[in-house]
Structure 1
């Protein structure tokens, strides 16, 4: 049976998978916003579109609730990998996926794909790669003034842009208050994901997250990698880091070759059909 949508969460960060081989959807900004809306639609932190088959490789698109498209999502990649296992698209424990932010390598740590490790690639702190306005430089511990607060920020790209803010007591309220202003600051021409970071000890950090195009989220894979990489670059942690978020914990390993590995869980929520009324609005005419 070909369902219209499949829903999963990774530590409370929930995505809808829509398989173009099973449902013909018009992914206009209006339709994306409607599907993701938690009152008028199915409700999610984004939509994963795939598998998109290009030769022998599998690609996916990652759509934010505001209709924009994300280059990469750690949780999204883990969720999509679990979907590929559930629907029989992959039968091996190791495979690769193409994203707009580059290729990622997946390893299933159990037969069902409930625990997954992702090689997220390498990070860069260079302003021209993230991007961050101003002269070419590594963006480390730079001051950013937001609402009268002087914030220490380190910016990083892991295929998508992040601004990591050292903060004494990060909270949901902090992310909701300061996150939108940082995301849309003129220093960041493509907008930016934001993490408020507290170092707990050499192997544990705590973050609160404001995601570009999605808002406040309970967990994020790429945010975990970015925050851990920033803390490591600043000499605040060792190379094996547990990232604590409201939704749970992701393990990040920073290898000597510069690759960042992320390990976390995925849970299936459900699968189903759009009502005739909603389907009439979102199907490709």
Structure 2
């Protein structure tokens, strides 16, 4: 079977985007892993599959798969790439697009400067929603890490349509992202796994951030992770409404008015190349 695809990236967080409207693509776990493999496949952090809308009031259904083949709820950087893709491919003439995802609707807007602004929805801090095993909601939680150099860490937890844990560090350059990221991402208190953000606060409107993504490892950038870090920082009274988030791949603008309000992300999305792929 041969399919057409487009390789895209948002701040170095790279995606293979496949439209499943005019062609037939069955995203099995093994097929996803084959495409995402960087030596023998196309190579990417995640795969986005664009489908016809399943509900009225939406324009498309966006599916997101991690490199390990598991389907994720959504992706912030992926949403920006998705928007640029459907417009460039002529699948829509709208610049204000509503897409359904596994965890609900998102709204994406292509701006005049070619950046994409995304309504990532209202952050949820309920442990049940994330999901995170805790007797009650709290600003911070102590997470025990047996058999690690650090016995425990203090984390904030939030759902941006997908689960995130955020811990504050003095310096992201020296933060043990690989060592602690995989342990926290697979911690038993997160039944569905979790993305892990390491946040260094530079000022009340600027942070440095590194992200360890479940099912992938550390990525150059993570849109929902940037939103999660700002939400936790705001909740702790450390950040203002508008924050620049600096990651290895570049910067995102995050804006959040506070509890009960949607969180907005603005940043670039770029096409790398298109091609045809023959699947086994």
What is the Cα deviation at residue 148 of structure 1? 3.7
What is the Cα deviation at residue 173 of structure 1? 6.4
Let me know the Cα RMSD of the aligned residues. 1.7
**Number of positions where the alignment pairs a residue of Structure 1 with one of Structure 2:** 273
Alignment equivalent of 1:71, drawn from 49, 70, 73: 73
Match of 2:123 in 1: 123
What is the Cα deviation at residue 129 of structure 1? 1.1
| 1:109-160 CA-partner distances (Å, limit 9, x unpaired) | 127xx3000010101111111111131323x222223314131200000111
| 1:15-52 CA-partner distances (Å, limit 9, x unpaired) | 01111134433321111111000001000011100133
What is the Cα deviation at residue 53 of structure 1? 2.7
What SS does the aligned partner of 2:180 have? helix
Alpha carbons of 1:155 and 1:263: their partners in 2 closer, same or farther (altered >3 Å)?
same
Moved over 6 A (4+): none
| 1:182-205 CA-partner distances (Å, limit 9, x unpaired) | 000111111100000110001001
Matching of residues 42-191 of structure 1 within 5 Å: 42-54=42-54, 56=56, 57=58, 58-110=60-112, 114-138=114-138, 140-146=139-145, 147-149=148-150, 150-171=152-173, 174-191=176-193
What is the Cα deviation at residue 72 of structure 1? 1.2
Alignment equivalent of 1:240, drawn from 232, 242, 257: 242
CA distance in 2, matches of 1:90, 1:24: 19
Match of 2:15 in 1: 15
Unpaired stretches in structure 2, ≥5 consecutive residues = none
Matching of residues 200-239 of structure 1 within 5 Å: 200-239=202-241
> Contact (CA 8 Å) 1:206, 1:243: kept in 2 or not?
yes
> Contact (CA 8 Å) 2:175, 2:198: kept in 1 or not?
no
Unpaired stretches in structure 1, ≥5 consecutive residues = none
Alignment equivalent of 1:258, drawn from 258, 261, 272: 261
Alpha carbons of 1:172 and 1:44: their partners in 2 closer, same or farther (altered >3 Å)?
farther
> Contact (CA 8 Å) 1:12, 1:219: kept in 2 or not?
yes
| 1:213-250 CA-partner distances (Å, limit 9, x unpaired) | 11110001100000010001000110101101000000
TM score, norm. by length of structure 1:
0.91
Q: Are 2:193 and 1:194 aligned?
A: no
